[in-house]
Structure 1
Amino acid sequence: MTLDDAVAVVTGASSGIGAATARALGREGCSVVLLARREERLREVAAEIDGETLAVPTDVTDPEAVDSAVEQTLDSFGRIDVLVNNAGIARGGPVGEGHLDEMRETIRVNLEGVATVTEATLSAIREAEGDVLTVSSLSARYPQEGGSAYTASKFGVNGFCRSLRKEVADDDVRVTTLMPGAVSTELNDWAHWDGRAMEPEDIAEIVVFALSRPPHVEFTEVSVDTTDKF
């Protein structure tokens, strides 16, 4: 697939992996639609991208806001070739210590948000025979102590993407789940970590690589970790 002239929607695009991915896709020639809640930061990232952009402040857990963002995208560009589900949060704490509200919020953003945006864009992506790439986490395979909410949400994301892959296989839509390890973003504080976290740009390069493979090549679940350990 050539990304030149493709239309890519990136959620969580105001910082971290989402912002780095939006920039990387812009360099590849994509028209980039940036979705996130922080309007000022979203527009700052959009201004850093060469090429056409559309910044739409959007809460991925709000179906009406997501539908409006998709409508604006189609009005502006006429199609959607790529969806990068990246919006996410990491909240909560040890089980039994009263973090259920934070767990609900984490699952709502990380899992329901993925489902909401995918649902809203899928018809256009089917028409384009495009890609749905979702940023999950290695926590879905290697749970962390005190991270039950985040781990549960990412387990759910992986399961959602596996089912989606089967549902759209006959439509020539590729579904990729990317599972990074430690990445230096606002999402997590790695100050306690003895190793070296990856940078958002490292993950953005992998996103571009996966999306730019020939149409008959599909990356299904991709794990990427740092070589620096504890």
Structure 2
Amino acid sequence: MPLTGRPRGFRDLDGQVAVVTGAARGVGELLARKLSARGARVALVGLEEDELKRVAGRLHAEGGHWYADVTDDAAMTRVAGEVQERFGRVDIVVANAGVAAGGPFEDSDPAAWRRVVEVNLIGGAVTARAFLPYLRRSRGYFLQIASLAAITPAPLMTAYCASKSGVEAFAHSLRGEVAHQGVRVGVGYLSWTDTDMVRGADEDEALRELRARLPWPANRTYPLGPAVDRIVAGIERRAPHVYAQWWLRGMQGVRGYVPGVVATAGQREMRLFEARLAGRPGGAGAGVRRGLVGAGGAADERGRTLRN
């Protein structure tokens, strides 16, 4: 039911059960804590068990944590069943887990490139498949976290842009399939936000400088807190689109023109990039990190090594 004194369409989160993947750090961690502060019972899902325990200890309401790889169908089906059994319902699922890698496509590590698509796109679909039976029962809400990268393609980010464009299309398609069953589906868009992932990308000098050359306001790094507040508000509204930065909504109206603009500007920027790096040992791709970026990326790579 709508909250008294709040805009129409808002849902009281008190007592709701919310699942957040990629909850060990960054957007996922703060989102879990803010949902918990509003009375939601939060199930944390991720690969960093010690970090998940730490986050669980900071929740305000009842919660729990589950160690699982979001690309593993059997593991996520098990998690979904255990969350349902523990809490008796599932009202909200946020497919937030994600990784990133940057650099020239030709020089990219094939395993890292593939893993970005697996975690971001396939992981979101696996999460939805596992929890949809329970979301139908509660007439709940599935929020897929996408990115500005779904709207604006960018050189040196082929895997990330492809994966985020994919999850946007997946969520829009899924919305049409399950709306008649009472399940709402949303897409969340974030620009560069102060997380381990973005800080990890900025450790590469070339990527950092190329990002700094983007036009305002896309060249800024935005604080995490206000971005997550906007996501929480979108969850309360069961919104079809959630924008973590105010200006992202406006990008929807011009997105048809963006690929052409990026292609034109990208020629100039990539010539400068290649000329600058051509003198380094190893050629134009030298100095660019080939694996997954940030602490979350490192945790994913460790997890894959252990599982293999």
On whether the aligned pair clears a TM of 0.5, the verdict is: yes
Whole-Å separation in 2 of the counterparts to 1:108 and 1:43? 25
Which 5+ residue runs of structure 1 have no aligned equivalent?
none
Length-normalised TM-score, structure 2: 0.69
Cα pair distance change 1:106/1:22, threshold 3 Å? same
SS at match of 1:188: helix
Q: What is the deviation of 1:51?
A: 1.1
Counterpart residue number, 1:164? 174
Whole-Å separation in 1 of the counterparts to 2:41 and 2:142? 16
Whole-Å separation in 1 of the counterparts to 2:51 and 2:173? 34
Deviation digits for residues 138-189 of structure 1 (CA, Å, limit 9, x no counterpart)? 0111122100000000010001001000001111211110110010111123
Q: What is the deviation of 1:208?
A: 1.5
Q: What is the deviation of 1:196?
A: 4.3
Out of 111, 116, 124, the position equivalent to 1:106 is 116
Counterpart residue number, 2:83? 73
The structure with the largest alpha-carbon Rg is 2
Out of 190, 195, 199, the position equivalent to 2:223 is 199
SS at match of 1:59: coil
Alignment pair present for 1:225 and 2:245: yes
* Matched letter for residue 241 of structure 2: E
Please say if residues 93 and 99 of structure 1, whose CA atoms lie closer than 8 Å, have aligned partners that are also in contact. no
Counterpart residue number, 1:124? 134
Out of 41, 48, 53, the position equivalent to 1:38 is 48
Counterpart residue number, 1:175? 185
Whole-Å separation in 1 of the counterparts to 2:242 and 2:155? 23
Which 5+ residue runs of structure 2 have no aligned equivalent?
1-10, 213-218, 248-308
Please say if residues 77 and 130 of structure 2, whose CA atoms lie closer than 8 Å, have aligned partners that are also in contact. yes
Whole-Å separation in 2 of the counterparts to 1:169 and 1:98? 39
Counterpart residue number, 1:87? 97
> Could you list the runs of 4 or more consecutive aligned residues of structure 1 that deviate by over 3 angstroms after TM superposition?
190-196, 222-227
Counterpart residue number, 1:96? 106
Report % sequence identity: 34
Out of 43, 46, 59, the position equivalent to 1:49 is 59
Whole-Å separation in 2 of the counterparts to 1:226 and 1:89? 24
Whole-Å separation in 1 of the counterparts to 2:245 and 2:221? 9
SS at match of 1:123: helix
Whole-Å separation in 1 of the counterparts to 2:102 and 2:146? 17
Q: What is the deviation of 1:2?
A: 1.4
Deviation digits for residues 49-86 of structure 1 (CA, Å, limit 9, x no counterpart)? 11101111111111121112112101110110000110
Please say if residues 91 and 141 of structure 2, whose CA atoms lie closer than 8 Å, have aligned partners that are also in contact. yes
Is the helix fraction higher in 1 or 2?
A: 2
Please say if residues 182 and 198 of structure 1, whose CA atoms lie closer than 8 Å, have aligned partners that are also in contact. yes
